[in-house]
Amino acid sequence: QNVFNMVVEVPRWTNAKMEIATKEPLNPIKQDVKKGKLRYVANVFPHKGYIWNYGAIPQTWEDPGHKDENTGCCGDNDPIDVCEIGSKVCSRGEVIKVKVLGTLALIDEGETDWKIIAINIEDPEADSYNDINDVRRMKPGYLEATVDWFRRYKVPDGKPENQFAFNGEFKDKDFAVNVIKGTHEHWKALMAKKTDGGEINCTNLTVSDSPFCCSQDCAKATVNAAPPCKSPNPIPPEVDKWFYYQKN
């Protein structure tokens, strides 16, 4: 039925660059840090923060040792990313069921970084969305805005515009599902230690035949050993700045 679980990392309209920390035990969601500073995505006019609920499909892995036959580039070493286009603003850490509609192939610093387009199956209009063309019909401009967002979001940090495979064209539902299935196979090889994951921490509770499987008590001890939550730092005022620049 092309329905998959999605872990929400970044609620729509927010800027904090939160992501599954794959190198830490049990892979918590943490804010990315660069040069000692917490990372936020810039608001590149006319966008404000992330323009979808952004997250990942668990049990997938874009293998950096595997060259994608479609893009000619290797994977980005992360779970596959999802842009959820429903009307609800989700909560960070929420796990929702999404219907896959299509995909965009971002080439990020020479790596394949698939962006799955999907909709929450509990969205009031979910039944009207069955493939990528339904997004074009029901939400005109949204796919174009998505390409624009991914093309330009790193420019305020002094980086060049991102590139895309297929000239920035979206691939359909069937293509997207096949990409997910491929990354799931890579994840299974990773969990079975048939592939070297490098610094990725594969400790898990549910893959019983995995050499990385641990007990509930072990997992609980890992969680309890984490430092206690404190009040969040205030969001710096520059996070609300709007960046304007001429498109290339």
CB 248 within 8 A of CB 151: no
pLDDT in tens, 7-44: 999 999 999 999 999 999 999 999 999 989 999 999 99
Burial of residue 94 (number of CB atoms within 10 Å: 0-12, 13-18, 19+): middle
Which CATH class for the 3-226+237-243 domain?
alpha beta
Give the start-to-end residue ranges of the domains of the chain: 3-226+237-243
Say how many C-beta atoms besides its own lie within 10 A of residue 155's C-beta: 17
- pLDDT bin (cut points 50, 70, 90) of residue 248 is low
- CA distances to 74, 102, 178, 215 from 70, in Å: 10, 15, 12, 39
Model confidence at 247, in pLDDT bands (50, 70, 90)? Answer: confident
Residue 2 CB contacts under 8 Å (≥ 6 apart), including other chains: 99, 100, 173, 177
Location of structure tokens 């359909």: 172
| pLDDT attached to residue 193 | 96
Report the predicted TM-score, pTM, of the whole model to 2 decimal places: 0.95
Give the mean pLDDT of the chain.
95
Tens digits of residue pLDDT in 68-101: 999 999 999 999 999 999 999 999 999 999 999 9
Whether 246 shows a pLDDT value over 90: the answer reads no
In angstroms, rounded to a whole number, what is the distance separating the alpha carbons of residues 69 and 186? 14
- Please report where in the chains the tokens 């796919």 appear, as a residue: 143
pLDDT at position 109 over 90: no
